[in-house]
Amino acid sequence: SAVISQKPSRDICQRGTSLTIQCQVDSQVTMMFWYRQQPGQSLTLIATANQGSEATYESGFVIDKFPISRPNLTFSTLTVSNMSPEDSSIYLCSVEETISGANVLTFGAGSRLTVL
Amino acid sequence: GEDVEQSLFLSVREGDSSVINCTYTDSSSTYLYWYKQEPGAGLQLLTYIFSNMDMKQDQRLTVLLNKKDKHLSLRIADTQTGDSAIYFCAGSSGGSYIPTFGRGTSLIVHP
């Protein structure tokens, strides 16, 4: 399966600042997904990042707050803008793969952000 | 859309079997998944089952699917301390391959 590297693995940020998370995949993939995992909560899909087009955002998430880049088929970034303590979460990058005929998601290790 | 529910905590003794349960709402779910998240790590796919199957076994893992009741379970035989983690149930509904995740069940294995 694909190997996904995320940077940073964790960070502590000040309120009002922005942070960009990088996601690198070891193979070319069509779609990359960004998820948020708030403490004690499930995973929530933020957006789908397609190469060569604007990201598709889920309800409740907007481009101004979570701008996404997808410059090529192996790389994507997610920026968390103007952060507040409510943005403290784990942010996960994932890609879709077909394994033994099933469509599955493979995840990076996540980026744990704490906003003070 | 799909809604997935699972209990939040399960505590078992080392060597016992663990059974983690999950219910889902969308009867058209094509795939149902179990993911494992160890502390400080991302989600790792453990196993999955097609909606046309009732059971799938993979070494210590057994997945049971009751489509009538929309109930999915994961049984871990001979649970070890290394199995301590959060286990997420997920289902993909309709034509979407993007799964909806439950809140995760925290499995604690004690000696």
A50-85 pLDDT tens trace: 888 889 999 999 999 999 999 999 999 999 999 999
pLDDT of A85: 96
Q: Does A30 touch chain B (CB under 8 A)?
A: no
**Averaged pLDDT score across all residues of chain A:** 94
In angstroms, the CA A53 to CA B80 distance is: 46
β-pair type (B31-37, B43-50): antiparallel
- Using pLDDT thresholds of 50, 70 and 90, give the confidence band for residue B3: confident
Which pLDDT tens digit goes with each residue over B31-47?
Answer: 899 999 998 888 999 99
How far off is chain B from A113, nearest CA to CA, in Å? 12
Cβ-contact B41, B35 below 8 angstroms: no
Q: Does B42 touch chain A (CB under 8 A)?
A: yes
In angstroms, the CA A62 to CA A68 distance is: 10
In angstroms, the CA A89 to CA B41 distance is: 13
Q: Does A31 touch chain B (CB under 8 A)?
A: no
